[in-house]
Structure 1
């Protein structure tokens, strides 16, 4: 949700990117590797933040784990410019955020945040001044019960 009274308009490419990510999660759940491969660049750039034993999505994308090893069922999927942000959890202790970056309708970059609070901020200059606005923020359901490390993704 945008803050500072900034509204995020969702354009046609953003809708298409959001639909692509939604279809990607469904394809992963059903082991449809051809649909997954068709959405992702062959030289996908990947970045991970979290415990070393939690590289669940990368293991799924590279075929090193079965879809049943970890279930990615997004609670929300939001599009901002060329980024699509999905968040969800599995069980009680596994909160995750994925940031997918698109170029010409293909996913070129993937960032996985596991048990990490994420804030996405717009740091692009507007005219002669620099205004920072929050475009998206994590919404883990059990934040009041525990603390999570926080990171900011600047776009």
Structure 2
């Protein structure tokens, strides 16, 4: 897994990253009880991609076994309370998970499957002007650079 090189990482960001890394490690080891301990009981979940590809949600709800789809994170980036995890497997599979971590518990999960993602911060220049955005994170699947995929922007 790669470390992000964006900016200095706070203790809170380190803790959020460790929470999400622990979730993937627990799932890789088949320890669904440990994984369930870090996921909030009323997790808010969003999905974008083919309906048959709700892989992480199926694992988290017990609908499919932990090893039906192997999540091998290739990069992990932390932006405040967001932890962005990216993975790809060959030319057909690309996924991005965006986890929101509050007080050591995952409260929100966004799963993007075969979708390019850009996370942008929107902030007003003044109360009369339009919003100005800066890119906080962008998909970078090395194995799929020539592939055409739908693109989404997540505004924070």
Q: TM-score of the superposition, structure 1-length normalised?
A: 0.90
Bigger drift between 119-128 and 17-26 goes to 119-128
Distance 2:112 2:7 in 1: 23
Q: Could you tell me how far apart the structure 2 residues matched to 1:8 and 1:131 are?
A: 20
Query: Deviations 1:66-85 (Å, cap 9, x if unpaired)?
Result: 12211101001111011000
Aligned equivalent of 2:24: 25
Q: Structure 1 residue 25: deviation in Å?
A: 0.4
Runs of 4+ in 1 over 4 A off after TM superposition: 126-130
Secondary structure of 1:139's counterpart equals coil
Task: Decide which moves more: 127-136 or 46-55.
Answer: 127-136
State how 1:127-138 maps to structure 2 within 5 Å: 130-138=131-139
Task: Report the count of equivalent residues.
Answer: 151
Give the match for residue 105 of structure 1.
104
Do the aligned partners of residues 123 and 70 (structure 1) sit closer, same or farther apart at CA in structure 2, a change above 3 Å counting? same
**Where do 1:32-111 residues align within 5 Å?**
32-111=31-110
RMSD: 1.9
Task: State the Cα distance separating 1:22 from its structure 2 match.
Answer: 0.7
Give TM-score, length-normalised by structure 2: 0.89
Alpha-carbon distance between aligned partners in 2 of 1:14 and 1:127, rounded to the nearest angstrom? 29
Q: Which runs of 5+ in 2 are unaligned?
A: none
In 2 relative to 1, CA 125–105 (structure 1 residues): closer, same or farther, beyond 3 Å?
A: farther
Mean alpha-carbon deviation: is it higher for 142-151 or for 63-72? 142-151
Runs of at least 5 residues in structure 1 that lack an aligned partner in the other structure: none
- Is the Cα contact below 8 Å between 2:30 and 2:67 reproduced in 1? no
